[in-house]
């Protein structure tokens, strides 16, 4: 049976725990894809791992996120509304990944830049001119994928322990 993702507005700790496991699983998939030469697929999985990690870390910054993202958000298909900060933590849209990472700070903020570059690369591939992707070739992207996988594992293990 597949475990449902807990809603952060009900149980922040359980939500963090599941997101950290997700980050580890996605990082494993990214590494597997990388080892098979599937660089763009690996970039996508590394990015998903990072988004899960940022969502997990955002749990501890919910008070600051409430100030940054005031108001409420209607839940899809329901009449219910939740605070926008909780919805952002739950969904972690790519469009707010950087501002959330800035609130978290440190390595999370710095490596979010790399994750976003890899997200561009996943969709556009290498680009020697650097217009559609910051990576001129697959090898340079693979190097950052490895770095992001490594940092994801480091920060996940640090938080779990």
The enclosing domain of 27 has a CATH number of: 1.20.120
The pLDDT tens digits of the residues spanning 107-154 come to: 999 999 999 999 999 999 999 998 999 999 999 999 999 999 999 999
* Domain annotation covers residue 7: no
Question: Could you tell me the pTM of the whole model?
Answer: 0.92
* Adjacent-strand bridge partners of 83: 72
How many distinct structural domains can be found in the chain? 1
DSSP letters, 51-78, are HHHHHHHHGGGHHHHHHHS-SEEEPTTS
Q: Are residues 15 and 5 in contact, defined by beta-carbon separation less than 8 angstroms?
A: yes
* Domain annotation covers residue 153: yes
* Domain annotation covers residue 103: yes
* Domain annotation covers residue 45: yes
How far, in Å, CA of 49 to CA of 92, rounded?
12
* Domain annotation covers residue 4: no
Domain holding 60, by residue range, is 12-160
The pLDDT tens digits of the residues spanning 20-29 come to: 999 999 999 9
* Domain annotation covers residue 122: yes
Cα distances from 62 to residues 5, 48, 116, in angstroms, run 18, 21, 22
């Amino acid at each position: 049976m597949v475990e449902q993702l807990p809603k952060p507005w009900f149980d922040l700790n359980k939500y963090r725990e599941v997101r950290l496991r997700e980050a580890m699983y996605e990082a494993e998939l990214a590494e597997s894809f990388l080892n098979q030469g599937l660089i763009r697929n690996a970039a996508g999985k590394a990015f998903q791992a990072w988004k899960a990690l940022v969502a997990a870390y955002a749990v501890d910054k919910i008070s600051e996120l409430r100030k940054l993202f005031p108001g409420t958000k209607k839940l899809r298909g329901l009449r219910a509304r939740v605070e926008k900060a909780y919805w952002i933590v739950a969904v972690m849209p790519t469009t707010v990944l950087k501002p959330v990472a800035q609130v978290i700070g440190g390595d999370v903020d710095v490596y979010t830049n790399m994750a976003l570059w890899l997200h561009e690369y996943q969709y556009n591939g290498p680009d020697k001119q650097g217009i559609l992707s910051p990576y001129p070739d697959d090898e340079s992207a693979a190097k950052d994928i490895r770095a992001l996988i490594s940092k994801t594992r480091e920060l996940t293990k640090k938080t779990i322990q």
